[in-house]
Every structure is written in structure tokens, then in C-alpha cells.
Chains A and B, each alone.
Chain A
Amino acid sequence: MKTLTDNLQSEGMARRQFLRYAGTGAAVMAGVLTMASCSKDHSATVVNDHVDLGSGDIAILNYAYALEQLEAAFYTQVAATPYSGITTYESALLTDIRDHEVAHREFFKAALAGNAIPGLTPNFSTINFTDRTSVLGAAKAFEDLGVSAYNGAGYMIKDVNYLALAGKIVSVEARHASLIRNLIAPGSFADSTVIDANGLDGAKSPQQVVPIANTYLSGKKILAPSLGIF
């Protein structure tokens, strides 16, 4: 059985250079090594029971599309079956957010065209849509996650036009996150649970985000070998 070092050398990848592409955790590193021989450049495909995001900028756009699908589905459910005691003000704001996420989702679908992943099937069984705390807690988690996902993937984008579009969306997600947090606890819009000592918002890698997103999917889960997600 080849050792870790042997695999690295046989693939022509010096360990120092490899670290440039390291995400987090030894499990990811081991995964990349075993898949390193796969050089097929693929666009988004359905592989067995998974959905592959593709490679390059397509993968990043599909990544965003996947997250927007989840958010759009969530808020569509929220608007369709509002929680007990929802106020007129809250209803108006949450309906707005739904419309934004649907617009984001449809935008990515249109922009990706033939390269788009299929529609994903959400699994919101852990959320109690009749309960304000459960719904707003989930909304906060989705929004904070979405912001950190865009922030963490931005540098991977090669086309400046795609970066510009991602930039236009992420600030709206941050506005959502801020509002949801203020609804839960006034003034908590950007507290130390999400903003660090330098005043920076979250930035998570696709390797960190996709497993979380996958917990909200039933049926086909997301994978993206090009982003180190297996």
C-alpha cells in the first residue's frame, strides 16, 4: 500500500505546494490524494446518487445556486405556512426575503443554463415551521452560512464578472442575516458569535459549507471533487 508521501511524489505534487490547496482537516487531504488521478474535466453531472458541482467558475456558481435553492425553498415554506404569532411587519419582511432568494435562485439557473445542477430536494424535517424560534433560528443559520460561503469562495472565482455578481448578492444576504438576528434579539445583528475581533464576518470554505448544506438535502447530495469535496 502506498504511503502518503509516495502518493504525493507519484502525483508530482510536492508537499509544500500541496498546502496551497489544503482546506481543512486530514480527511480532506487523504480524499484529494486518492482522487488525484481523476483528471476528467467535468461540468455539472448527476453521478449515481450525487450531484457534482463541476469545476472552475461553474463549480462556484453551482455552489451558490445550490445554497440559493435551499434558502428559496426554506423561505417559500415560511411564507406559505407562517409561524404562530407572526406580525404583519415580520410577514412582509420574510416575504421580501423569499422573493430575493427566489430571484437569486432563478438568476443562477438562467446564468448557468446548460451547466446548472438540477433542482435539489430539501429536507427541513428538523425545522418546526409553526414555531417562531425554530423558524428564525434556521433562517439565521442559513443566512450566516450563506454569507460565509460567498466570502470564503470569492477568491476562487476567475472571471471578474462572476465575482461582481457574487458581490452584489452577498451583501443582500448579510442584510437578511442582520434583520433576522434583530428579530430574534434586537441589537444582535452582528454580535461576537459571527463577527471576529477584527470586525470581520465569517468566511468558510466549500469543504466546510457543503457538508452542512447536505444535511438539509434529501435524496441527492452535493459533491465537488474539483473543490475537494467527496
Chain B
Amino acid sequence: MNLFNVIDEIQQVDPEFQDRISPRRDAIKNMSSFGTKIAVAALPFAFTTLFRKAYGQTATSSVNDVLNFALTLEYLEAYFYNQGLAQANLIPAGDKGYFTTVAGHENAHVAFLKSVLGSAAVTSPTFDLTAKGTFADVLTNYNTYLAVAETFEDTGVRAYKGQAGNLLGNQVVLTAALQIHAVEARHASAIRYLRASKGVSIKPWISGSATVFNDTGIAAVNASYAGENNTVQGGVDITTLNAVSGKTSITAAIEAFDEPLDKASVLAIVSPFIKAS
């Protein structure tokens, strides 16, 4: 759904439509920035509701599918971080600030996506953070908790990236998705930084080699890193490109680009964390 095309069509029927959804002076500010809650509140995000109320039409479902997929992942992450912070003896005092920051964002993402979706928002599943026992001590062993956090964030980045194409040209929704995607990448980098501070050999970026695609050291999360050691981008083999000296190493080629993951693969990774209803 291209917002501007839809507004154009409505404009032909109702020339005052743009003024009713957003006074012209605010339109400039709103279209250029998602910066504040006020700007968000002023924007008519529940487009489907807007159309149904005014014209009895329905918007396409594909954008909502993307947003609800994102919302489901955000529900999981928010629950994971809220639960972690609620455990008395899990997160060391020195690291608490990191998780308070991350949890705050995930909770904000849940609220934001729900406000965009309006009545089309899915409700939260019930979660099993042990993934049916695979991570049995996730809430009692900080090393396990860190590893699962790292995987959630890296996978979340891949999930958003995998959906970007479905939002091609959509100024409002694609921009928001990219803005969330970048925050998840910051989280991933920070969790890896924390793991490294505990002595784990891990970088803020996803690394690897010709034979290693999962740099976490945890085989159980292989599915989350499938394809991450790709070195060909847009038909260009990155290792043939000039580096500061010689050609770009395989390591640098792998690290310089994060890979998307399709929805089905992401859901397969996430489903063990969802309790069957």
C-alpha cells in the first residue's frame, strides 16, 4: 500500500481529505519525522479504520501482515526482557542498565505497533522462554540468558530486513520499520559486547568464515545464522574488492553485510518459544 497513491485516489473523490487527516502545516512536520509521540499521535496510523469509517473501503492486508509479524516478535522480546529484569538474581547489577534500555525499547515497539495496527493488531501469544527445554536455565543462568538475548536480537534484525521488500516505497511504514530494525541492530551489538566482556570470543557484528556461518558458539541456534557467511552482494563478490591492503578478507566481507531471513524461517525459529494454545 502506497500511502500517497491511496490519498490521491481519495482526494479525487473528496478534495478536502488531506486537510481532514492532517492540516497542511502539520503535514510537513509529520511526513519528515517520527520523532515524538506527539507527531505519532497526530498521524492517522489506523488507516484501515480511517477508510472503513469514511468510505466503507478496506485497505490491503499485506502491510498489516508485516506489522503483525513484527508485533509478534516484539511481544516475545518484550516478555523475555521484562521477565529477565524481574528475576532477583539473574542480571548482574553492572549490566542492568543495558537490559533496562533494551526492555524499554521493546515495550515501546509493542505499544507503537499496536497503535499503528489499531483493531487489526494481534494479541500476544503465551511464551515458553526455555523453548521446550532447549534453554532450560534461561532465567537462572546469565550466560544462557545472554546467549538467547543475542540470538533474539540478531534474528529480529534479520526478520525486519526480510520484510523490507514488502514495504517498498511506503514512506510511513517502511521508514518506521527501518527505524525499529536499526534499534534491534544496536541491541544485538550491545548484547554481543556484554558477552565479550564476560570472556566470550564474539564481536559486535556477525562474523564467520568460509565454513562458519554461526559465530555464537551455540549450535542450537544454527538456524538463526544460516547464510550469514555470504560474501556475494548484488552479484558482486566482496572478496574481489580492494581493501586498504590487498583484497577484502572473507571475514570483513561477511561482517560488512547482515543477511535477511524470510518469514517462514523466522517463524520456525520462534515457534518453540510459543506455547501451543
Contacts and interface: CB of A to CB of B under 8 A. Distances in A.
Contacts of A111: 234, 236
A161 B234 contact: yes
Interface stretch (B56-64, B97-105, B213-221, B266-274): B97-105
Nearest to A161: B234
A152 to B, nearest CB: 7
B91 to A, nearest CB: 13
B178 A167 contact: yes
Chain B interface residue count: which class?
A: 35 or more
Contact of A107 (B28, B182, B233): B233
A178 B189 contact: yes
A208 B224 CA distance: 36
Given A100-B255, A103-B241, A154-B164, A198 B40 contact: yes
B179 A164 contact: no
A190 B257 CA distance: 21
B205 A170 contact: no
B256 A201 contact: no
A203 B178 contact: yes
B35 A196 contact: yes
A196 B18 CA distance: 27
B87 to A, nearest CB: 19
Contact of B183 (A102, A168, A187, A190): A190
A107 B253 CA distance: 10
B263 interface: no
A197 B183 contact: no
B244 A171 contact: no
Main SS class of interface, A: helix
Contacts of A195: 105, 183, 186
Nearest to A162: B234
Interface in B151-176: 157, 161, 164-165, 168-171, 174-176
Contacts of B195: none
Contacts of A99: 243-244, 248-249, 252, 255-256
B106 interface: yes
Interface in A179-206: 179, 182, 187, 189-191, 195-203, 205
Interface in A21-61: 22-24
A191 B104 CA distance: 10
B238 A107 contact: yes
Contact of B33 (A167, A172, A199, A203): A203
A123 interface: no
A96 B205 contact: yes
A2 interface: no
A169 B241 CA distance: 16
Nearest to A98: B244
Contacts, number: 226
Contacts of B168: 157-158, 160, 163
A140 interface: no
B190 A189 contact: yes
A199 B106 contact: yes
Given A200-B179, A200-B180, A202-B179, A155 B169 contact: yes
Contact of B244 (A20, A76, A163): A76
A178 B186 contact: yes
Contacts of A7: none
A200 B183 contact: yes
Interface in B97-130: 97-98, 101-102, 104-109, 111-112
Contact of B32 (A161, A190, A205): A205
B27 interface: yes
Contact of B157 (A169, A171, A199): A171
B258 interface: yes
B204 A196 contact: no
A96 B183 contact: no
B165 A164 contact: yes
A14 B243 CA distance: 50
B253 A103 contact: yes
A158 B2 CA distance: 12
Which of A100, A155, A161, A205 has most chain B Cβ within 10 Å?
A155
Given A175-B189, A197-B36, A169 B257 contact: yes
B188 interface: yes
Contacts of B32: 22-24, 205
In the A-B complex, the 4 residue pairs with the closest CB atoms: A199-B108, A174-B185, A178-B189, A201-B182
6 contacts: A16-B18, A99-B244, A147-B182, A169-B256, A176-B189, A190-B183
